[in-house]
A = this chain, B = another copy of it.
Amino acid sequence: MPLFTRSAPTTPLDGVDLILADLDGVVYAGPGALPHAVESLNRASDGRALGYITNNASRRDTTVAAHLRELGLHTEPHDVVTSPQAAMRLLRDRIPAGSLVLVVGGDGLVFEVEKAGFRVTRSADDAPAAVVQGFAPDVGWAQLAEAAYALAKPEDEGGIPWIATNTDWTIPQARGIAPGNGTLVSAVHTAVGRLATVAGKPERPIFDEAVARFGAASPLFIGDRLDTDIAGAQ
């Protein structure tokens, strides 16, 4: 073996077959893309899959993909994994197809619930088979109370499952930092004394959903928040 031969240099991308990127803080922060984000992601995706995962429960995958294409990324709706989609994976494991689901959230979540083959109600009086809760700007106490009524019975006493898309404590808005879905899930938790199963980052289901969708063996996740991103990717 020659004295000065060395092995090829390695990079963090060697052997990686799927890159999963967070959106807020990685691709953009506010309206525009972060410097170098678009070129770097487009280059890194040469020869491997590139997906995006987002805890945001109020935008559909098509809307997210359109936004990313505007920024210069080559993104299709299939490349976007949302926390409502991960929540549907959990629901399918727990309740029969076609069941009635009480939705706390907005149109984006309703869309996914119906696309997954479930029926939607807004009232605990309809005896739903599960509650799914995600953020939307029009969520208020009345929706939280419906969830509390539907979840009054503990799950080990025959109570129904409760899936939260995510429990982000804050949500950055143009006018400042606002309370996130975690605070609204917590409000219901306080009333019912039980915890939701969480689909989004940093919990596993959204990573499982992404890895399953892309059939990846060695995914790499790019995030910026220790609490929601780094913890979940491990």
Contacts and interface: CB of A to CB of B under 8 A. Distances in A.
B179 A188 contact: yes
Interface string A139-152: 11111110011001
A18 B149 CA distance: 39
A159 to B, nearest CB: 12
B176 A152 contact: yes
A190 B170 contact: yes
B187 A148 contact: no
Interface in A169-205: 169-170, 173, 175-180, 182-184, 186-188, 190-192
A187 B179 contact: yes
A142 B138 contact: yes
Contacts of A50: none
Contact of A178 (B178, B180, B191): B191
A142 B137 contact: yes
Contacts of A192: 177
A89 B179 CA distance: 28
A184 B141 contact: yes
A191 B173 CA distance: 11
